[in-house]
Amino acid sequence: MPSSIRAHASIAMVALLALCAFVLTALWTQWARDDLDWVQATLSLYLHGPWGLALRTAYCVLAVAIMLLAWSLHAGLQSPRRSAAAPLLFVVAGLGLMGVAIGDSWLPEMAPLLAPLVHGLAANTAFLCVSVAMLLQSWYLRADPRWSRWAALAWWWAWLCFALLWLHVLWRGPPRGAGQKLVIAVVVLWLAAVALQQWRQTRLELRKAGLCTSPCRATGVS
């Protein structure tokens, strides 16, 4: 049991680091690329050209982080609503992200007519699956006594993401780039908050078991 708790804590920390790496890379490309208007250009346009490889790598790192976090949440959940639906949707979302990153690395040159179809299918799959998975996971967490208080915020935040996603899809008025990046930011913030809470809870469990060393006390977990 202690080893599994430590594993969940490590996965949560890895997910947090991966999310930070994605955010920093995305922000850097926005600043470094003066050939694109960040308000109008969607993030996927930054996958090509200068710093495109770094952003594609960050996409894949984010995808792996989503999959690991989904497994950790599912394995450690103490909820009667626990099922494999949420982690499976997170995995499909991660595969969609990888499809965007990997497909955009060589498809535009090798198969220019196929590239837009693959990109659109992968990106839409990633957005739709992650938004539904967030709702399901938040619903599961609300029935877990350890998460019940915090999960209410996660639940409404997931609904906000779901609403913003469909608003972005159906309402073509706002700038496409800014709208898409707002949805991505809301998703990433939800993932980061869940990963942080998962890390805090696992450290608390280790401390209660007398297996947490000084870093636990340094974090102020009680």
pLDDT tens-digit map of 54-71: 999 999 999 999 999 999
Residues 106 and 66 sit within 8 Å (Cβ to Cβ): no
Query: How does the average pLDDT of the chain come out, rounded?
Result: 88
**What value does the CA radius of gyration of the chain take, rounded to a whole number of Å?**
18
pLDDT greater than 70 at residue 214: no
Per-residue H/E/C for 73-108: HHHHCCCCCCCCHHHHHHHHHHHHHHHHHHHHHHHH
Tell me: the pLDDT tens digits for 3-34? 788 888 899 999 999 999 999 999 999 999 98
Pairwise pLDDT comparison (176 vs 133), residue with the higher score: 133
Q: How many CA atoms lie within 13 A of 113 on its CB side?
A: 0
Residues 75 and 15 sit within 8 Å (Cβ to Cβ): no
pLDDT greater than 70 at residue 142: yes
The pLDDT value given to residue 218? 44
pLDDT greater than 70 at residue 215: no
The pLDDT value given to residue 205? 81
Domain spans of the chain, in order of start: 2-219
Per DSSP, helices labelled H in 171-211 are 176-208
pLDDT greater than 50 at residue 190: yes
**Distance (Å, whole) CA 64 – CA 95:** 9
The pLDDT value given to residue 134? 97
**Distance (Å, whole) CA 122 – CA 117:** 8
**Distance (Å, whole) CA 112 – CA 68:** 33
pLDDT tier at 159, thresholds 50, 70, 90 = very high
pLDDT greater than 60 at residue 211: no
pLDDT tier at 183, thresholds 50, 70, 90 = very high
Give the mean pLDDT of 115-135: 94
The pLDDT value given to residue 78? 81
